């Protein structure tokens, strides 16, 4: 593929413009709401613990939501699913904005709002390749740039706005952004059929029965055989549930049992789609690892204190990674030829870790900001291409479930990494912890980079879509 002609080309696609505008509205509203919630909860309770717990609730429900609800993006029309999720969140946030809502109810509603974001994100990610085609990587880069920029702007504008309006108004504004997003999705995207109708892979399932256990181990890319086998499980389980009903089980109970069985089977298929295929497994591992490079942001305050710096430095350190991410997403798609990008995934992952390892040298404030920014640059370059490769290596009928599982894995990896880093920083200090995070990350990234390279070599190189070619290619 020839060198990209810039990122602006994706905006010539009307459907992408609608998706981009809808996401921008949601991100800005979410950041405003996060600040508003923190102010609202702290104002009511005076408790830092309650405030931190509420802030955590804006992230953590997505951990389970991605695994359990990502299937909806494969079982329902994706445009309608996104629209319903947006409208539901708009309504719930409208209730949260009402004065005097009890704190416990506020937390319950918040969990539901965040959980509804999981199927929306899965459907959006699964739609992008269909919307953009060969411009998919450029679209991911634009989304990365927009997301990081909007988060920075959202936090800043949120703080400024709350000096003028109340937290309840901020929540109401977030509700309006979701309503606007629903309208953009409804009228900006064309309707598409359901990606994976129940039973659509039953015939292929029989063929896959004997191959699924060994196909991926041998080639790393038996996409059709192993995925069809996973999809066929639903059909067989449904048939079993129907058989039980025929032998006397109550019809309603049988229907519920079949629905639960199908749900569990779909969840298992989604997990298998990620961990059961070498290409997707390595790419997901790289994404999860690079996601852990946000650990320094969680240690920005004690890191600045260790440098005897004022609170302004905390903000500079936290802004360094997002700023580097914006630049990295632009550079990888604007300056690097498309055929070279897949080969740089592992290199960028290693470089992102080594940049943080440079903190062992005690670089001071300016050096630390630069190192964190460079880490963000390489991390973003890795993420854009790894995410693109992951989606392209996943059949359309599995994308919703696979993206949901991968997103949950990323949240889990980040949460565990930040928790462990916090415990370690209490013992050895924030500066050495950041350096150690980078060093360990670079070593693990090196192993994954070798596995990624072997997948390509064993499959006769990279295909035109940026993923290793199968032996059948």
> How many C-alpha atoms does 356 have within 13 Å on its Cβ side?
38
Residue 69: per-residue pLDDT:
79
Three-class SS state of 261:
helix
Cα separation, 185 vs 16, whole angstroms = 10
Q: For residue 134, what pLDDT is reported?
A: 80
At 13 the three-state DSSP class reads coil
CB 127 within 8 A of CB 143: no
Tokens of 204: 């292929």
> What pLDDT is attached to residue 375?
94
Q: Measured on CA atoms in the order 43, 44, 47, 53, is the torsion positive or negative?
A: negative
From the list 122, 121, 60, 114, the residue with the least C-alpha distance to 412 is: 60
Separation CA 20–CA 11 (nearest Å): 9
- Classify the phi-psi angles of 468: left when phi > 0, otherwise alpha if psi is within -120 to 50, otherwise beta: beta
CB of 446 within 8 A of CB of 367?
no
Contact 385, 137 (CB under 8 A): yes
pLDDT of res. 436: 95
What Cα–Cα distance (Å) separates residue 423 from each residue in 236, 288, 434?
Answer: 47, 20, 12
Surface-to-core class of residue 310, CB atoms within 10 Å of its CB (0-12 exposed, 13-18 middle, 19+ buried): exposed
Calculate ∠ Cα 148-291-149, nearest 5°: 5
pLDDT at 3: 44
Alpha-carbon radius of gyration of the chain: 23
3-class SS of residue 234: helix
Per DSSP, what are the bridge partners of residue 462? 468
Task: Output the tens digit of pLDDT for each of the chain's 473 residues.
Answer: 344 456 778 899 999 999 999 988 888 887 777 777 877 887 888 776 676 567 667 666 777 777 777 788 888 899 999 999 999 999 999 999 998 889 889 888 888 888 888 888 888 888 888 888 888 888 888 888 888 787 777 666 666 677 777 888 888 988 999 999 999 999 999 988 887 655 544 333 333 333 333 334 333 333 333 343 344 433 433 444 444 444 544 656 666 666 677 777 777 888 888 888 888 999 999 999 987 888 887 788 788 888 988 767 877 887 888 889 888 888 888 888 888 888 899 999 999 999 999 999 989 999 999 999 999 999 999 988 898 889 888 888 888 888 888 888 887 787 788 778 888 888 898 899 999 999 999 999 999 999 888 876 544 444 444 554 443 33
Query: 321: Cβ–Cβ under 8 A, 6 or more apart, which residues?
Result: 293, 294, 296, 297, 372, 373, 375, 376, 379
Place of tokens 């994954």: 448
Coil vs helix vs strand at 459: coil
Lookup: tokens for 14: 């009307």
Q: What is the largest CA-CA distance in the chain?
A: 74
């Amino acid at each position: 593929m020839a060198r990209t002609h810039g990122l602006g080309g994706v905006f010539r696609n009307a459907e992408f413009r609608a998706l981009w505008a809808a996401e921008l509205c949601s991100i800005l509203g979410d950041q405003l709401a996060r600040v508003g919630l923190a102010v609202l909860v702290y104002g009511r309770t005076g408790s830092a613990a309650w405030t931190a717990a509420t802030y955590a609730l804006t992230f953590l429900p997505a951990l389970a939501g991605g695994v359990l609800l990502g299937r909806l993006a494969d079982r329902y029309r994706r445009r309608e699913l996104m629209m319903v999720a947006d409208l539901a969140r708009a309504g719930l946030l409208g209730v949260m904005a009402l004065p005097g809502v009890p704190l416990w109810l506020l937390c319950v509603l918040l969990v539901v709002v965040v959980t509804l974001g999981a199927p929306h994100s899965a459907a959006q990610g699964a739609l992008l390749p269909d919307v953009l085609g060969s411009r998919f990587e450029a679209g991911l880069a634009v989304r990365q740039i927009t997301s990081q920029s909007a988060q920075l702007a959202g936090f800043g504008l949120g703080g400024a706005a709350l000096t003028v309006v109340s937290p309840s108004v901020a929540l109401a504004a977030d509700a309006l952004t979701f309503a606007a997003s629903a309208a953009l999705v409804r009228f900006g995207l064309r309707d598409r059929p359901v990606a994976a109708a129940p039973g659509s892979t039953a015939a292929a399932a029989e063929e896959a029965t004997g191959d699924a256990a060994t196909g991926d181990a041998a080639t790393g890319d038996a996409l059709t055989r192993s995925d069809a086998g996973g999809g066929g499980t639903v059909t067989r389980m449904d048939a079993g549930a129907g058989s039980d009903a025929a032998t006397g089980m109550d019809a309603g109970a049988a229907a519920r049992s079949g629905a639960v069985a199908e749900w569990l089977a779909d969840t298992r298929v989604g997990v298998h789609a990620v961990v059961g295929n070498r290409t997707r497994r390595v790419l997901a591992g790289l994404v999860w690892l690079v996601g852990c490079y946000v650990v320094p942001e969680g240690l920005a305050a004690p890191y600045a204190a260790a440098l005897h710096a004022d609170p302004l430095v905390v903000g500079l350190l936290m802004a360094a990674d997002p700023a580097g991410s914006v630049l990295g997403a632009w550079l990888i798609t604007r300056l690097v030829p498309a055929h070279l990008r897949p080969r740089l995934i592992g290199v960028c992952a290693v470089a992102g870790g080594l940049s943080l390892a440079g903190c062992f040298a005690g670089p001071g404030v300016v050096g630390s900001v630069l190192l964190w920014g460079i880490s963000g640059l390489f991390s973003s370059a890795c993420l854009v291409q790894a995410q693109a490769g992951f989606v392209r290596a996943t059949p359309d009928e599995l994308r919703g479930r696979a993206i949901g599982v991968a997103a949950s894995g990323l949240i889990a990896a980040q949460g565990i990494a930040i928790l462990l880093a916090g415990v370690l920083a209490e013992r050895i200090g924030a500066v050495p912890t950041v350096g150690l995070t980078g060093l360990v990350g670079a070593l693990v990234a090196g192993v994954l980079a070798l596995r990624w390279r072997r997948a390509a070599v064993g499959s006769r190189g990279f295909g035109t879509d940026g993923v290793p070619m199968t032996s059948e290619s």
